[in-house]
């Protein structure tokens, strides 16, 4: 079974530029999550989708971050404009269902963003 | 607001030792708890998932326990090996039918000396 795919793996941009990350979850997984992991910290949830609807975006900085999951499969996360403090690893995760062991989250390799 | 704390922040031990990593959380209303491993520059690999109704889970040399009422979990690694060197993260999922994103601790950076 293929895992969660993310691209690009690395991205370097200057502050005030825009950037987009892509995630393809495990086939059949209805729930998709984006997390931000700053160096030395644990991941922090940015947004959760159930199919193509948003369940939780309470920690997403909506003035500069946006995310979509149009067909309930792939998702993109965008930052515009980027700030220095956005330098982090952006992790995508997915889960099959919301209950029982099927709620286990599986993570992709992440996209490492450096803002200069 | 849920907070997850992991102790110690870093640990270095000789190969072959048994060791315990600790995780505590402030809100006992959790659905489950997961232990992850993260290698440098890589994503997270799930090691063990414990449902809130369970007390422990085992996988090979790993054993995780959960005491939901006291807000504690431990990850026990038996007969440590250099390949176990990584950062270990504990995360809890909230109880409830709505948002179920994980809350993570900062991790324990583990080094096993050959």
pLDDT tens track for A10-48: 999 999 999 999 999 999 999 999 999 999 999 999 999
Minimal Cβ distance to A103: which of B4, B32, B44: B32
Asked if omega into A32 is within 30° of 0 (cis), the reply is no
Judge: A56–B97 Cβ closer than 8 Å, yes or no: no
* A108 compared with B40, residue with greater pLDDT: A108
* Cis status, amide bond into A25, omega within 30 of 0: no
- From the list A91, A100, A103, the residue facing B100 with the nearest CB is A103
- Contact check, Cβ <8 Å, A106/B46: yes
Q: What is the DSSP string of B55-77?
A: SEEEETTEEEEEETTTTEEEEEE
Contacts of B49 in chain A (CB under 8 A): 101, 104
Please tell me the distance in Å from B53's CA to the nearest CA on chain A. 11
User: What SS3 state is found at A10?
Assistant: strand
Average pLDDT over residues A92-114: 87
Looking at CA atoms only, how far is residue B99 from chain A in angstroms? 6
Interface touch A103/B41, C-beta < 8 Å? no
Q: Strand pairing partners for B46?
A: B36
Percentage of chain A beyond pLDDT 70 is 95
Contacts of B45 in chain A (CB under 8 A): 107
pLDDT of A101: 65
- Average pLDDT (A79-102) is 89
Burial classification of residue B28, based on how many CB atoms lie within 10 Å of its CB (0-12 exposed, 13-18 middle, 19 or more buried): middle
The predicted model gives A80-94 an average pLDDT of 97
Residues A21/A68, Cβ–Cβ less than 8 Å: no
Is residue B108 within 8 Å of B88, Cβ to Cβ? yes
pLDDT at B28: 93
Farthest-apart Cα atoms in chain A, separation? 43
Interchain CB distance below 8 Å, A109 and B100: no
Q: Average pLDDT across each block of 10 residues of chain B; the chain has 114 residues. List them in order.
A: 95 96 95 94 90 94 96 97 97 84 96 96
From residue A65, alpha-carbon distances to A90, B64, B76, B88 in Å are 12, 36, 39, 29
| pLDDT at residue B42, rounded to an integer | 83
Please tell me the predicted confidence (pLDDT) of residue B97.
Answer: 66
Least confident segment among A38-47, A86-95, A100-109, B101-110: A100-109
For residue B38, give the nearest of B90, B85, B81, B87 by alpha carbon: B87
Residues facing residue B17 across a β-bridge: none
Q: How far apart are CA A53 and CA B62, in angstroms?
A: 37
- What does the pLDDT read at residue A70? 81
Do residues B13 and B21 lie in contact, with contact meaning Cβ atoms separated by under 8 Å? no
User: Is there a contact between A39 and A112 (Cβ–Cβ < 8 Å)?
Assistant: no
Q: Nearest to residue A104, comparing CAs of B52, B29, B44, B49? A: B49
Structure tokens given for A65: 């971050």
Neighbouring-strand partners of residue B30: B94
A58, A98, A109: residue with CB nearest B42: A109
């Amino acid at each position: 079974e293929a895992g969660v795919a993310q691209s690009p793996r690395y991205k370097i941009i200057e502050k005030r530029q825009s950037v987009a990350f892509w995630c393809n979850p495990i086939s059949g997984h209805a729930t998709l999550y984006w997390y931000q992991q700053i160096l030395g910290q644990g991941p922090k949830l940015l947004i959760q989708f159930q199919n193509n609807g948003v369940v939780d975006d309470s920690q997403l900085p909506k003035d500069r971050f946006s995310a979509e999951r149009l067909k309930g499969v792939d998702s993109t996360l965008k930052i515009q404009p980027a700030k220095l403090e956005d330098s982090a690893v952006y992790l995508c995760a997915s889960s099959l269902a919301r209950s029982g062991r099927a709620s286990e989250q599986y993570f992709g390799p992440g996209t490492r963003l450096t803002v200069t | 607001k849920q907070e997850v704390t992991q102790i110690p922040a870093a640990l270095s031990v000789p190969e072959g030792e048994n060791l315990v990593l600790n995780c505590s959380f402030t809100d006992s209303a959790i659905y489950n708890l997961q232990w992850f491993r993260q290698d440098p520059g890589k994503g997270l690999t799930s090691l063990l998932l414990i449902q809130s109704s369970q007390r422990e889970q085992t996988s090979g040399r790993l054993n995780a326990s959960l005491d939901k009422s006291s807000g504690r979990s431990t990850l026990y690694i038996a007969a440590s090996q250099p390949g176990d060197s990584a950062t270990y993260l504990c995360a809890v999922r909230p109880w409830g039918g709505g948002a179920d994103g994980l809350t993570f601790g900062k991790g324990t950076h583990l080094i096993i000396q050959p």
